[in-house]
Structure 1
């Protein structure tokens, strides 16, 4: 499988991107923020080989070619300096069953593409250790629930209510972690 489009492999098969999460946001918002410019300053400055010193710079990530499979990884863990450890960000991130994605590059190959949510990895627990994840795969109106050595068939509606789509924020210990969207094309 290739992750980079090339002459030998003209189609971008899959793309995994890590996106920041905020309180009460959506996957659409997270993906939009992924392409925003970020100013690198203080300790993050870049060394300039022309003037031979560190300079502020702008960093921006753009998607030129839309993939067949998009796998946004939600950055659920953040290092807290005052605690000297990673903590889980249990922010609710609403994700849609259908996603319209637009290319963020000016020299675009394809303007937009529709995607369907086909699977998700859900992180259970309050912290990064020990990590326990379950995987949910949607198929023909029902969901397959993979939890260690157990595989269960579940109603698709029940899965939607549990992870990401419900407005109930009290289920913070179980959070969507990696989403898998498949292109309709």
Structure 2
């Protein structure tokens, strides 16, 4: 029993640990929802949204999520399981991609969910503004797509793409916002190293030369990506699926990628607003199985210093050193205190 395992004295007084019932291959959804639930800035904003929008009739994906989070946090029992039926039904109604019993991609789901919530908030903000500003002259047109929401406040960071012409040395920069970062991985390379490779300088030459507006012709150039603004919650997606032309399908890279519990990002741009930030690992989504559209997702989350394993309805304390996957079979000398898990698909770091 989970409460006994954690111990009455150690069990966090304000926390609930509820597994989510699987509605036929919805583990991709359950694992991401558990990871997000234990990212406190996100959970708090979802619950606040519910409190502020009481009496609102319209059902949305966000209202269903808020109801689910509220139900878990107000349960009398500390431990149990709950069917996220209303949320899953709404998800399937809104996006045909998820309206089947096939296994889905957890990263695709996270992306859809965050963007959808941002769209809902922007539409609601625009409608409120229109109500405030409409007067005798008629409707006021408002550009809802530009308003920043709390999704952006929590998850959005900014990358800057720097291109330096090797002839005239002019540097052009182009900013790009992200809600999560997709990172290429290599065997036996830590996530810190993968993030550094993300900012490696690449030389553009031969037929791929860069058109320099100063030189007014194509020139050799150097290109690199750097982080300009770091988010409050850093959502990382490890690119574990790679298209193989030989096999004519996506193959899984089951590489061992150590995750530090604390992560510091150094590959920031010169004009970065917050260059030196320390992040703490809060949640990890893991994919087991060989294919993109097969296999199973689970999540590991950190709650009040305790690591827990959520596998659909099943919840348990996670013994990190002897986890489900074959960390102990590796011949490497690994410091277990630094390694949570080797086969992570997504990781959530909190600033």
TM-score band, normalised by the shorter chain? 0.7 to 0.9
Post-superposition shift, 1:131? 4.0
Residue 329 (structure 2) pairs with residue 159 (structure 1): no
Q: Deviations over 1:25-46 (max 9, x none)?
A: 0000011111112345789x47
Residue 226 (structure 2) pairs with residue 70 (structure 1): no
Post-superposition shift, 1:55? 7.5
Instruction: Give the whole-Å Cα distance in 2 for the aligned partners of 1:61 and 1:167.
Output: 36
Partner secondary structure for residue 21 of structure 1: coil
Residue 300 (structure 2) pairs with residue 136 (structure 1): yes
Point out the structure with the larger strand share: 1
Partner of 1:179: 347
Q: Size of the alignment, in residue pairs?
A: 172
Instruction: Give the whole-Å Cα distance in 2 for the aligned partners of 1:54 and 1:124.
Output: 46
Change (3 A) 1:83 1:29: same
Which has more radius of gyration?
2
Gaps of 5+ in 1: none
Instruction: Give the whole-Å Cα distance in 2 for the aligned partners of 1:100 and 1:167.
Output: 27
Post-superposition shift, 1:126? 1.7
Instruction: Give the whole-Å Cα distance in 2 for the aligned partners of 1:57 and 1:12.
Output: 34
Partner secondary structure for residue 25 of structure 1: coil
Partner of 1:113: 277
- Root-mean-square deviation (CA, aligned residues, Å) is 3.4
Is the CA contact 1:23–1:93 (under 8 Å) kept in the aligned structure 2?
Answer: yes
Change (3 A) 1:110 1:49: closer
Change (3 A) 1:42 1:13: farther
Instruction: Give the whole-Å Cα distance in 2 for the aligned partners of 1:41 and 1:134.
Output: 44
Gaps of 5+ in 2: 1-116, 119-145, 156-178, 332-341
